[in-house]
Amino acid sequence: MPNISQLFFKSAVIWLLIGIAAGLQMGMSGNHTVIAAHAHINLLGWVTSAIFGGYYALNPAKAAKRLAFVHYAVYMLGLIVMLPSLYFMERGNMQLEPLVGIGSMVTFLGVLIFAVVMFSRESVAVRQARA
């Protein structure tokens, strides 16, 4: 499996653990004010990261490109800024709202980079090797 796939899968599991912890905290306390953060952690952190990992596992030629690692770095940076900021903003720290916005834009940039990777053509040599 390509290294980038492993990075995305390992990161996805970390986000899953964080998402489950947030869900448990809500369930135990009966306070569900962080439901949006919980959903974002699970969907953007766990699910989307795992999907990226799967895509790169199925497309090793694209996984080997430098742009795949740029995608990982930008996307994870966005999540690391956005998700904790959203969690604590929902708990009442409204001063973090600008960080949520910045993290969201960086995450979106990561998704745009993935779109470039996904829609880019493979080289002729790669296509001929598959035939």
Q: Is 23 left (phi over 0), alpha (psi -120 to 50) or beta?
A: alpha
- Confidence at residue 124, expressed as pLDDT on a 0 to 100 scale: 47
Rg (CA), the chain: 17
- Confidence at residue 73, expressed as pLDDT on a 0 to 100 scale: 98
Asked if residue 50 has pLDDT above 50, the reply is yes
Asked if residue 66 has pLDDT above 60, the reply is yes
Q: Mean pLDDT over residues 31-36, rounded? A: 96
Provide the residue type at 39 as one letter: A
Asked if residue 5 has pLDDT above 60, the reply is yes
Q: Mean pLDDT over residues 47-74, rounded? A: 97
Kindly report the number of other CB atoms within 10 A of residue 123's CB atom.
10
Asked if residue 68 has pLDDT above 60, the reply is yes
For residues 78 and 110, the answer to whether their CB atoms sit within 8 Å is yes
- Confidence at residue 81, expressed as pLDDT on a 0 to 100 scale: 98
Q: Transcribe 65-97 into DSSP letters.
A: SHHHHHHHHHHHHHHHHHHHHHHHHHTT-GGGH
Task: Determine the length of the chain.
Answer: 131
Kindly report the number of other CB atoms within 10 A of residue 110's CB atom.
23
For residues 75 and 117, the answer to whether their CB atoms sit within 8 Å is no
Q: Mean pLDDT over residues 31-59, rounded? A: 97
Q: Cα 129 to chain center, whole Å? A: 31
Q: Where in the chain are the domains?
A: 3-130
pLDDT by residue (tens digit) across 80-118?
A: 999 999 999 999 999 999 999 999 999 999 999 999 999
Q: Does this model's pTM top 0.85?
A: yes
Q: For all residues of the chain together, what is the average pLDDT?
A: 94
Percent of the chain whose predicted confidence (pLDDT) is above 90: 92
CA distance 19 to 86: 13
